[in-house]
Structure formats: structure tokens, C-alpha cells
Amino acid sequence: MLQKQKSEFTKQLILDESFKLFYKDGFKTTSVDKIMVKTQLTKGAFYHHYKNKKELGLAVIKLKIQKRVYEGMISPLYNPGNAIDILKQTFLDRIKSFPLDEKQSGCPMNNFINEVGDSEKIYQIALKNIVEEWKSALIHLIERGKKENSILQSISSEATAIYLISAFEGIRGIRKLYDNDYILDQYTFGLSAYINQIKV
């Protein structure tokens, strides 16, 4: 049992440190050797748990990035309450809550999409699944808001969901170019105005 726990700890350590390195330095430039230096593990330990860096990258997307997006951006959409308030809390309050290093480094999912989303089908599918789950949760919330008469019936739920996701992910990427939050403040001002336009 102790050996199994040690093995799981090692696997989790590789996953956690790889996520940090991929986020900070990029997936393509992070080698297995670099991961081993960071974890202070042997290559044997790495290859015991992962066949190669490609398999590790997929694990990072599915176990780290997907969890992060689900907890921060998807799960809150199913909370009880006014749909408009939930949209504001999820998209406006969340963007303000990021620490400085995350503002400077951007969104881990967006970084992965930009770096490998168009080159590796397996990553493309895994990342697309996260976006599709996020989109479905938003459509569900918007439809609920229509039924509860807090969101205009005339808007397209799918188009609104895609717009909200795209705007959020876009500003996370653009913020990396700036050394202050002015552009974020303008984003929140514009998004707040948009959300107010779709409410009844």
C-alpha cells in the first residue's frame, strides 16, 4: 500500500510541476530533462508513469486545465440565483480576482490552444472538449435566464455563449502585452455594458 501511495505521489508531482513549467515556459520548450530537474526525479520515474511528453501533455490538459476551467468558469454557472448576476460573478468578478503573475502569464488553456491546438489532433480534441462543456453550461444558464425572464428571449443563447468565452479568453491573452490593468478595466466596463444589454 505504501509503495502504491508513493507511486501516486510521484505521478502527481510530475503532473503538478509539468503544469507549472508548461504555463511559465511553454509546452514546446519544456523538455523531460527540465521536468526531471524541477521534480528531482529520475527519467526512469518519469517513463514509469508517462510514455512520453505527449502523453503527459494530454494528462495536464485533462487533469489540471480542465479541472481549473470547470471549477472557475463552469461549475459556478450551475449555481442557483439570477442568471444575469451569475454571469457577472463568473466573468467580471473572476477576471478581477487573478493574481498579478496569472495576469502576466495569461490563461493556461488559451496558452495551450495557441501553442499546440492546431498542430496535435489529440490536444485539439481535449481542449475543444473543455470549451464545448463551458459553452453548454453557458447555454443552459442563458436558457434558464430566458425562462425566468431575466434574459431577453430574442438573443441567441449559443452565439452569446461563444461571445462570452471568446471575449474572456481573448482578454486573458491580450493582458500579457501590458504592464497594468487598464485594458482589463476597459474589458470589464464593456462586458458589463453587454451583459446589461441582454437582461430584461
What mean pLDDT do residues 12-20 have?
97
Sign of the torsion angle spanned by Cα atoms 67, 166, 198, 99:
positive
Digit-coded pLDDT (tens) for 77-117: 999 999 999 999 999 999 989 999 999 999 999 999 999 98
From CA 82, how far away is CA 94, in angstroms rounded? Answer: 17
CA angle 196, 188, 173 (to 5 degrees): 130
Determine the residue type at 24: K
Residue 15, pLDDT score: 97
CB proximity list for 94: less than 8 A, separation 6 or greater: 72, 73
What mean pLDDT do residues 46-67 have?
96
Confidence bin at 1 (pLDDT 50/70/90): low
